[in-house]
Homo-oligomer: A and B are copies of this chain.
Amino acid sequence: MSTRKRRLGGWGFEGEGFAPSSQLVEWLEAHVGPPGPAITGDTIQMPGREPQALPLAPSHNISTEPEDRLAHARGQGLADVIRVRTGTVRTIPDAVVRATSAAEVEEILRTCDERGIRVVPWGGGTSVTGGVNTPDGGAPVLVIDLEAMSGLLHLDTQSNLAVFGPGTPGPRVEAELGKHGLTLGHFPQSWELATVGGWVATRSSGQESLGYGRIESMVAGLELVAPSGKWQLPALPASAAGPDLRHLVMGSEGRFGIITEVTLRVRARPHTTVVDAYIIADIERGMAAVRTLVRSDLPLSMVRLSDPRETLVAMAVGLGSSAFAPLVRGYLRLRGVANQGCLMLVGAKGEDEDVADALTAARSVLGRHHAVSLGRQPGRKWQRDRFHHPYLREALLDRGWATDTLETAVPWSRALETRRQVVNAIAETAAAEGERAVTLCHVSHPYRDGTSLYFTFFFRTAPDADRTIARWAGLKRATSEALIACAATISHHHGVGSWHAPWLEPEIGQLGRDILLDAAQRFDPRGILNPQVLLDPTDRLED
């Protein structure tokens, strides 16, 4: 179990990092322009304001240390990191309590409910949607950190069902299951930090969702503690006993209650995972190939397709230093699509022989789409670095460039148009203030009927924190509007939080939002739980 210290004002752990290559820096200078002012962590300031005293029993493990409170004030979105780094965090919790049991959560919530104390549930704190940020306004705020409610609580080896505490982070999930030859197979990019409860509360999806499914398909049962009581939904493989209420908890983002236990479907640990790389002529052909693969019954664990720009950056950053780059460039020139080629990764897991069979069959499918194999080195590199990519953001902030991501999902028939609209929205919004912003896109969670689209965009920092965040907020608003106009979801796996909340009603309708408000009222009549997320449509991007 990791005891590494989390970094303040940045992703991940102290001592870790992911420095941009000189090629990436050159690429940014060429496409985004020279850097703006650096936003380093040098100006982190501890909150000076005294916390409000909270009437909790002294038996609880309560902290009012300034650094602890600041560390629990914001998630891991770009604006969060900028606020912390620049000492401009406006609201921080009055205390942080580390609960140790569902009974303690119940007791704390009862007190908070009686005293009007607002509560933010905290798992790994990796929200990139403003999902754990301390609400503003006068009433005191308590963060309930679930890190002490961690670990494997029960394992039913006949049913392959494992009960975990909500605060269990990814590596511990896999370490505990690994002792029994099992795996969950849920590997979001935040895997090292994020927790079981957070995954469920935000409808998380891992990088191998094609093989293992989204978190929704892994949740068999759960326990929720709300101000109105404890609620248990038993582990069942399937049911027709009315609406599936597990799906009301999944995605509730701490607004309905605190998830205190999750029963997860687990599987035999695969012997190996192998990722093949290909280059394919253009994005249209790439998407057609992905569709064919995902509709085959091949037991693949992942298919990932980068658009031409992301492919060029990946080659500049990663493949650029490898023996493959000249080969790939030669191939693309030969096909007359020098700037249109798309990198594709195709993975399979299981026994050696089954993996070989699946990847051979995939190769045969991709051959019909004229994809060219790049072998396994790019896939190995991706596997090695995949949890380290988020560290790049802080290294770029240190240099004066900002980067963020957003993601969506749409039916295949609208995928290309949605990509175009989002990329344009970013470029045009930046251009309107005389800036350049550039966007990469990839497909990483394909489905039979549609796909996720994941966007990474870069822009220059502005003269100060507020103006940098305002620039970013402008891009977020433009892309959110573009998604709604394309009838694409406001989020495929990051969630709603407070930053996407203004765009929830356009997606689910007024009746949908009313239904969720009614449920919130039932679980939490006084509205103390994470009140700014999901259902409050206030635009808080610049908070």
Residues of A within 8 A of B (CB): 156, 158-161, 202-205, 214, 216, 220, 226, 228-229, 231-245, 247-253, 265, 267-268, 291, 295, 297, 299, 350, 354, 409-413, 445, 447-452, 487-496, 500, 504, 507-509, 511-512, 514-516, 518-519, 521-523, 534
Contact = CB atoms under 8 A, between A and B. Distances in A.
Nearest to A411: B159
A410 B235 CA distance: 8
A46 B81 CA distance: 74
A238 B448 contact: no
Contact of A491 (B241, B447, B507): B241
A511 B231 contact: yes
28 contacts: A156-B411, A160-B295, A161-B413, A203-B240, A220-B411, A220-B449, A233-B512, A235-B411, A236-B410, A237-B411, A238-B493, A240-B494, A240-B495, A241-B490, A241-B495, A241-B496, A241-B500, A241-B508, A243-B249, A243-B516, A244-B247, A244-B251, A245-B512, A245-B516, A265-B448, A297-B350, A511-B523, A514-B522
A518 B252 CA distance: 17
A214 to B, nearest CB: 6
A532 to B, nearest CB: 14
A156 B238 contact: no
Contact of A515 (B156, B237, B511, B522): B522
B449 A159 contact: yes
Given A489-B241, A508-B241, A409 B236 contact: yes
B248 A248 contact: yes
Contact of A205 (B238, B251, B412): B238
Nearest to A518: B518
A246 B432 CA distance: 39
Contacts of A245: 508, 512, 515-516
A514 B202 CA distance: 23
Contact of A516 (B233, B242, B448): B242
A522 B516 contact: no
Nearest to A236: B489
A356 to B, nearest CB: 14
For the complex of A and B, the 9 pairs showing the least CB-CB separation, nearest first, are A237-B450, A247-B247, A237-B447, A159-B411, A297-B299, A239-B489, A203-B240, A158-B413, A243-B251
A65 to B, nearest CB: 33
A492 B240 CA distance: 5
A157 to B, nearest CB: 8
Given A159-B411, A515-B518, 4 more contacts: A202-B240, A237-B448, A267-B295, A268-B295
Identical subunits present: 2
Contacts of A265: 448-449
Nearest to A300: B297
Contacts of A487: 234
Contacts of A451: 237
The winner among A234, A250, A494 for most chain B CB atoms within 10 A is A234
A496 B226 CA distance: 27
A323 B264 CA distance: 46
A534 B245 CA distance: 14
B159 A238 contact: no
Contacts of A240: 202-205, 251, 489, 491-496
A237 B410 contact: yes
A236 B214 CA distance: 14
Nearest to A450: B237
Contact of A504 (B242, B267, B291): B242
A522 B519 CA distance: 11
A511 B233 CA distance: 10
A351 to B, nearest CB: 10
A470 to B, nearest CB: 25
The winner among A216, A240, A248 for most chain B CB atoms within 10 A is A240
The winner among A160, A245, A449 for most chain B CB atoms within 10 A is A449
The winner among A241, A448, A492, A521 for most chain B CB atoms within 10 A is A241
Contacts of A492: 238-240
Contacts of A243: 247-252, 516, 519
A238 B445 contact: yes
A534 to B, nearest CB: 6
Nearest to A491: B240
Given A240-B496, A491-B241, A511 B161 contact: no
Nearest to A507: B241
Nearest to A203: B240
A519 B448 CA distance: 31
Contacts of A268: 295
A291 B253 CA distance: 34
